[in-house]
Amino acid sequence: MAAAGQPKLIVAADAEALAQAAAERVMARIGANPGRIAICLTGGSSPKKLYQLLGGDSWRGKIPWDRVHWFIGDERFVAESDPLNNMAVARAAFLDRDAPSGHVHPIPTATENPDQGAAAYARELQAFYGSESLDPARPLFDLVLMGAGPDGHTASLFPGYPEIEEMQRWVVGVPKANVAPFVPRVSLTLPVLSSCREMLFEIAGHDKQPILTRLLNGETLPAVRARSNGETVWLVDQAALPEEIRGPR
């Protein structure tokens, strides 16, 4: 599946402004679809402020919870009760309070191995979508949230690993992570992540400067290869920007 063109770069003043801008984009995508909505969440540290906003009193009342389904782009192969579990973080931050239980779709991690969890999640995604093959004219997701790791990985698609080249399967097991925590993972593949109306990266903090420099230079890292068939947005804060392009503070 061919992805669309260059990402749009949006710079926020700081991490709080970035989370606010991300929340506004989430709500814009929800508002653009009067029917059933599918949002693919992400793990890691990047979305925590966003999730806290969505769970706060100013935002939660604006979400049509009965129409939104929540998926996740990758998961660490740990128990749902483990603090490393990505969906558990999202559930605690905002989902468990308001989302109907049948509208929260975690990647199963109680299976014997990551490959079995991947196969089960692929079946769930295909049942939701209504087909085993993706149609570029009918995106699976309204919005896919993404982050970029220090090595340029996104979801659990690591540079140089075979899973980044998978174009047929919807979901794959990742037996070994390239960065901490060094636990097995389950990840959606690039074609499935691309099947969205918008892919929104959140990249914040001074420690992201080195990898953002590499991404902006166009290195063929997973976070560069991940593009929506619709709109791809890199939402970054001033602290993450390379010094040579950072604006006045």
Confidence bin at 1 (pLDDT 50/70/90) = very low
Cα–Cα distance measured from residue 34 to residue 31, given in angstroms and rounded to the nearest whole number: 7
CA distances to 117, 156, 162 from 175, in Å: 12, 10, 11
Cα–Cα distance measured from residue 145 to residue 147, given in angstroms and rounded to the nearest whole number: 7
Q: 3-state class of 215 per DSSP? A: helix
Environment class of residue 194 by beta-carbon count within 10 Å: exposed (0-12), middle (13-18) or buried (19+)?
A: buried
Cα–Cα distance measured from residue 107 to residue 94, given in angstroms and rounded to the nearest whole number: 18
Q: 3-state class of 76 per DSSP? A: strand
**pLDDT tens profile 103-131:** 999 999 999 999 999 999 999 999 999 99
* Cα Rg, the chain, nearest whole Å: 17
The answer, yes or no, to whether residue 247 has pLDDT greater than 80, is: no
Residues, the chain: 249
**pLDDT tens profile 143-172:** 999 999 999 999 999 999 999 999 999 999
Closest C-alpha to 170, from 199, 134, 202: 134
pTM for this prediction = 0.94
**pLDDT tens profile 11-68:** 999 999 999 999 999 999 999 999 999 999 999 878 999 999 999 999 999 999 999 9
